[in-house]
Structures are given as structure tokens and as C-alpha cells.
């Protein structure tokens, strides 16, 4: 079935609010999912893979392990990027604007592809960014995304490692700078990588325009699943209304 951009935004906000994300956090999470889907990077698929980790109120909170003038080290304790990356990048942006550059390492974080939209946010503030991460076990995939300061869209590349040495599949490395443009991509060496794919800013722009004009296709199963998650908001609000009415 086809849904519009506005319908997707409203549904995703209700979903994350229903999962207990507070005001501000559920808007951020919805925006990250929507950006991937609108720009052709399977935001719905990423969300389905993220669902085991997004309702993460029982997990330990995001932890800042070390902070220096130009470096930050975080532990997400198995949380989803949808929950913790927006606040991490916000602090990193502040440091980049103050110091000129910052190196961020994020450990034990799932669903790191959602960083793409956050790189776009950095670029709007005059900050260039580069992100690197790995996914999976057998096979292991490598991912690089980068954006120039002031650019509207990032560049993104991914590939499978033919013979990974020591995979680090729950870590994100993020570099931000106001001094230089951090533009990078994976080397497409056939001896080291296979299944190489690259997406440029022009492709992201075309995908976004197409989604806005023609809508987005979502399976009935996922639509129903998301609406069931969103119903938690309605149930909670109804119970609070009844409780409030009875107390007067």
C-alpha cells in the first residue's frame, strides 16, 4: 500500500511515543527512519531490524566513558541508534563548532545506518562529517558515509568484506570538522571486498523527490504491526483520561 510523507511521519511519531520515548526523542527517532525510507535506503527494513532494540527502557542508559577537548567515547549498552545517536551527535556538534574538529567513538550501538540523517543535520550547521561502521558476522559488511559542510545530501558506500580479520560490528566511528571537508568512500578492491555499492548525493536527491511525488510503498503486515505499536499511546492516554476524570 502507498502512504504519503505526512502519514509516515504521524505514524512513526505515535510508534516511538508508544514505546515510551519522551518528547523530543520520539520526534528524532521518527525523523531518522523517515529520512532513510524517503531517500531510498530501506528505512522500513532498518526499522524492522531495529524493533528488538528500540523498546529499550530496561537497558542501561547511554554512558559517556571519556571526554577530551576533541574526542568523545560512548557506550550505548546495546541500545538502538534511534534512541542514543541524536544526543551523541548533538554534543559532538557542539565540540566541533568550539574546537574545529572532534573524533567520536560509539560502542555497543545497533542500527547505525540511521546516522545518515544526522550527518545531513551536521552539514546544515556548517560541519563536515564522516561515519564508519561494520555490520553482521558472516559475512561482515563495511559502511562509510560522508558529507561536506553545507551539502544537502551525503555520499554512502557499502561492501562485504571477503576475509574480515577482527570484526567490530557494534561500533560507530564518527569524525566531525568545521575546518576541512571529510569526504570518503570504501575502496572497491575485488581482493578485499565484494558487492560494492555506492550512493551519491544526486541519487539521494532523486529518490527523495520521487517519494514526495509518488508516496512510499509499505507492506500491509508492517503497516499493521506499526499501528499496533502506536495503539499503546491511545490506550495510555485513554487510561489517563479516565483516571483524571474520576479524580475530579
pLDDT above 50 for 2: yes
Residue 248's pLDDT is 33
What mean pLDDT do residues 63-77 have?
Answer: 95
Q: Quick one: cell of 36?
A: 532513510
Instruction: Give pTM, 2 decimals.
Output: 0.88
Residue 114's pLDDT is 96
> Degrees (nearest 5) of the Cα angle 205, 8, 143?
50
pLDDT above 60 for 190: no
- Nearest one of 68, 77, 72 to 91, comparing CA atoms: 72
CA atoms of 42 and 76, how far apart (whole Å) = 24
Residue 239's pLDDT is 53
CA atoms of 207 and 204, how far apart (whole Å) = 5
Least confident of 39-48, 57-66, 182-191, 231-240: 231-240
Per residue in 89-129, pLDDT tens? 999 999 999 999 999 999 999 999 999 999 999 999 999 99
- Nearest one of 13, 36, 55 to 143, comparing CA atoms: 36
Q: How confident is the model at residue 85 (pLDDT cuts 50, 70, 90)?
A: very high
Q: Quick one: cell of 7?
A: 502519514
Amino acid at each position: 500500500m502507498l502512504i504519503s510523507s505526512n502519514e509516515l511521519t504521524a505514524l512513526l511519531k505515535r510508534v516511538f511515543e508508544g514505546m515510551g520515548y519522551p518528547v523530543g526523542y520520539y520526534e528524532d527517532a521518527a525523523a531518522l527512519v523517515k529520512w532513510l525510507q524517503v531517500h531510498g535506503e530501506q528505512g522500513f527494513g532498518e526499522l524492522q531490524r531495529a524493533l528488538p532494540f528500540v523498546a529499550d527502557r530496561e537497558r542501561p542508559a547511554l554512558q559517556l566513558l571519556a571526554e577530551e577537548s576533541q574526542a568523545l567515547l560512548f557506550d550505548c549498552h546495546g541500545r538502538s541508534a534511534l534512541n542514543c545517536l541524536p544526543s551523541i551527535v548533538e554534543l559532538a556538534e557542539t565540540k566541533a563548532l568550539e574546537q574545529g574538529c572532534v573524533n567520536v567513538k560509539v560502542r555497543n550501538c545497533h542500527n547505525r545506518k540511521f546516522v545518515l540523517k544526522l550527518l545531513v543535520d551536521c552539514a546544515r550547521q556548517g560541519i563536515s562529517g564522516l561515519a564508519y561502521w561494520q555490520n553482521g558476522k558472516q559475512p561482515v559488511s563495511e559502511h562509510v558515509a560522508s558529507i561536506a559542510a553545507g551539502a544537502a545530501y551525503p555520499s554512502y558506500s557499502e561492501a562485504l568484506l571477503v576475509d574480515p580479520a577482527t570484526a567490530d560490528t557494534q561500533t560507530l566511528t564518527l569524525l566531525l570538522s568545521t575546518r576541512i571537508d571529510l569526504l570518503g568512500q570504501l575502496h572497491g578492491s575485488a581482493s578485499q571486498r565484494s558487492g560494492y555499492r555506492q550512493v551519491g548525493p544526486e541519487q539521494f536527491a532523486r529518490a527523495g523527490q520521487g517519494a514526495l511525488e509518488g508516496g512510499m510503498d509499505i507492506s500491509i503486515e508492517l503497516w499493521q504491526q506499526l499501528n499496533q505499536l502506536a495503539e499503546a499511546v491511545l490506550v495510555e492516554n485513554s487510561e489517563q483520561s479516565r483516571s483524571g476524570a474520576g479524580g475530579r
